[in-house]
């Protein structure tokens, strides 16, 4: 297969729109290996900065950025681990998630996959940032 047009070149930089149906095995295994560390990052953050988790009228949302989210399927399990860790400390704190990837990424698919995967959580807002994270 050859890549000729500008739009083909851009599309070739990001994951295929079928990525959510093909991502398997080693990706899930490597994600599973990070879950305890993700939760402990939240606990440590709380230890050093408990004010950041305070709930109330002046509280700031807890923001999570997912760099290189692709079409979102493999983001759900680690995001859930982070959300659960935050909610253990601050049950009603607003959480914002930024799905970040290159502008030509299929964010429509990512939004649907992540929104569905996290639908049990209230007070959670999912946004997107289409930007090259190296610049």
Which spans of this chain sit near ligand SAM (rule: CB under 6 A)?
14-15, 23, 27, 68-70, 74, 101-102, 105, 132-134
Residue nearest to ligand SAM (CB): 68
- Our CB check for ligand SAM shows the closer of 8 and 54 to be 8
Give me the least distance between CB of 6 and ligand SAM, in Å please.
Answer: 17
Can you list the alpha helix ranges (DSSP code H) found in 14-134? 19-22, 25-32, 35-48, 76-89, 107-117
Gap between the Cα atoms of 81 and 79, Å rounded:
5
> Nearest distance from residue 72's CB to ligand SAM, in Å?
8
Q: For the CB of residue 125, give the shortest distance to ligand SAM in the complex, in Å.
A: 20
Nearer to ligand SAM, 90 or 126 (CB): 126
The 10 Å Cβ neighbour count of residue 24 is 9
Residue 123: name the closest of 64, 81, 61 by CA: 61
């Amino acid at each position: 297969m050859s890549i000729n047009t500008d739009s083909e070149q851009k599309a070739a930089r990001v994951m295929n729109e079928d990525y959510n149906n093909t991502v398997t095995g080693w990706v899930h295994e490597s994600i599973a290996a990070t879950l305890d560390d993700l939760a402990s990052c939240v606990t440590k953050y709380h230890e050093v900065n408990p004010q950041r988790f305070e709930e109330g009228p002046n509280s700031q949302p807890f923001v999570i950025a997912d760099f290189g989210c692709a079409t979102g399927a493999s983001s759900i399990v680690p995001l859930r681990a982070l959300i659960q860790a935050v909610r253990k400390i601050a049950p009603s704190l607003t959480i914002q998630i930024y799905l970040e990837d290159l502008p030509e990424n299929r964010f429509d698919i990512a939004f649907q996959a992540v929104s569905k995967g996290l639908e049990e959580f209230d007070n959670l807002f999912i946004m997107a940032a289409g930007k090259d994270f190296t610049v």
